[in-house]
Amino acid sequence: MKKQLIIMLTIGAYLMASCAHHNHDHNHDHSHDGHNHATEQQDHHDHNHSHDHSSHDHDHSAHGHTHNHENGISLKPGEAQAIGLTTETATPAPFTSVIKCTGNVIGATGDVMTIVAPQSGTVHYNRTWADGSAVSAGTALFTISSRNVGSGDAAERARISYETALAAYERAQKLVSDNIISQREFEAARESYEQARLAYEAMGSSKSAGSEARASKAGYITRLWVNEGDFVEAGAPLATIAQNKRLQLRADVPQRYYNQLHTITSANFVTSYDDEVYELAHMNGKLLSDGRNAGETSYFVPVTFDFDNRATIVPGSSVDVYLLGNTRNNVISVPMESLTEEQGLFFVYRRLCENDFEKVEVKTGTSNGSRIEILSGVNPGDKIVVNGVYRVRLAGANNALPSAHNHNH
- State yes or no: pLDDT of 55 exceeds 70: no
The length of the chain is 409
Looking at residue 315, its pLDDT comes to 77
For residues 178 and 269, which has the higher predicted lDDT (pLDDT)?
A: 269
Fold of 72-92+332-398: 2.40.420
Looking at residue 50, its pLDDT comes to 42
**CA 4, CA 23: separation in Å to the nearest integer?**
29
Q: How many CB atoms within 10 Å of residue 263? A: 16
Averaged confidence pLDDT in the chain = 78
Looking at residue 23, its pLDDT comes to 46
Category of 177 on φ-ψ map: left (φ > 0), alpha (ψ -120 to 50) or beta: alpha
Confidence of residue 383 (pLDDT cuts 50, 70, 90): very high
Query: What is the rounded average pLDDT of the residues 181-187?
Result: 88
Looking at residue 24, its pLDDT comes to 44
- State yes or no: pLDDT of 218 exceeds 70: yes
- End-to-end CA, the chain: 98
Looking at residue 307, its pLDDT comes to 92
**What secondary structure does DSSP assign to 154-194, as a single string?**
HHHHHHHHHHHHHHHHHHHHHHHHTTSS-HHHHHHHHHHHH
Q: What is the largest CA-CA distance in the chain?
A: 215
Fold of 112-242: OB fold (Dihydrolipoamide Acetyltransferase, E2P) (2.40.50)
The answer to which of 149-153, 262-266, 303-307, 332-336 has the lowest mean pLDDT is 149-153
Confidence of residue 199 (pLDDT cuts 50, 70, 90): confident
- State yes or no: pLDDT of 364 exceeds 90: yes
* Per-residue pLDDT reduced to its tens digit, 119-171: 888 898 988 898 878 899 889 899 888 765 555 566 667 778 888 988 898 88
Mapping DSSP to helix (H, G, I), strand (E, B) and coil, where does residue 145 land?
Answer: strand
Query: What is the rounded average pLDDT of the residues 53-61?
Result: 40
- State yes or no: pLDDT of 30 exceeds 50: no
- State yes or no: pLDDT of 57 exceeds 60: no
* Per-residue pLDDT reduced to its tens digit, 78-89: 888 888 999 999
For residues 246 and 94, which has the higher predicted lDDT (pLDDT)?
A: 94
Q: Where are the domains of the chain?
A: 72-92+332-398, 99-108+244-331, 112-242
Looking at residue 18, its pLDDT comes to 46
**CA 363, CA 88: separation in Å to the nearest integer?**
18
Highest mean pLDDT: which range of 169-178, 199-208, 293-302, 378-387: 378-387
Confidence of residue 339 (pLDDT cuts 50, 70, 90): very high
Q: Which amino acid is at 209?
A: A
* Per-residue pLDDT reduced to its tens digit, 187-197: 898 898 888 88
Query: What is the rounded average pLDDT of the residues 370-391?
Result: 94
Looking at residue 87, its pLDDT comes to 95
Q: How many CB atoms within 10 Å of residue 328? A: 14
Question: Percent of the chain at pLDDT above 90?
Answer: 30
**CA 44, CA 126: separation in Å to the nearest integer?**
111
The residues pairing with 358 across neighbouring beta strands, listed in sequence order, are: 72, 350
**CA 94, CA 116: separation in Å to the nearest integer?**
51
Looking at residue 216, its pLDDT comes to 85
- Measure Cα distances from 331 to 77, 86, 260 in Å: 34, 21, 20
Looking at residue 304, its pLDDT comes to 94
Query: What is the rounded average pLDDT of the residues 172-201?
Result: 86
The residues pairing with 372 across neighbouring beta strands, listed in sequence order, are: 334, 367
- State yes or no: pLDDT of 306 exceeds 70: yes
- State yes or no: pLDDT of 39 exceeds 70: no
How far is Cα of residue 262 from the mean position of the Cα atoms in its chain?
26
Looking at residue 60, its pLDDT comes to 39
Helix axis angle for 154-177 and 183-202, nearest 10°, is 150
Query: What is the rounded average pLDDT of the residues 305-317?
Result: 81
Residue in 276, 284, 287 with CA at minimum distance from that of residue 323? 287
- State yes or no: pLDDT of 103 exceeds 60: yes
Looking at residue 360, its pLDDT comes to 94
The second-level CATH assignment, the architecture, of 99-108+244-331 is Beta Barrel (2.40)
Q: Which amino acid is at 310?
A: R
Per-residue b or e along 181-190, where b marks 16 or more CB atoms closer than 10 Å to that residue's CB: beeeebeebb
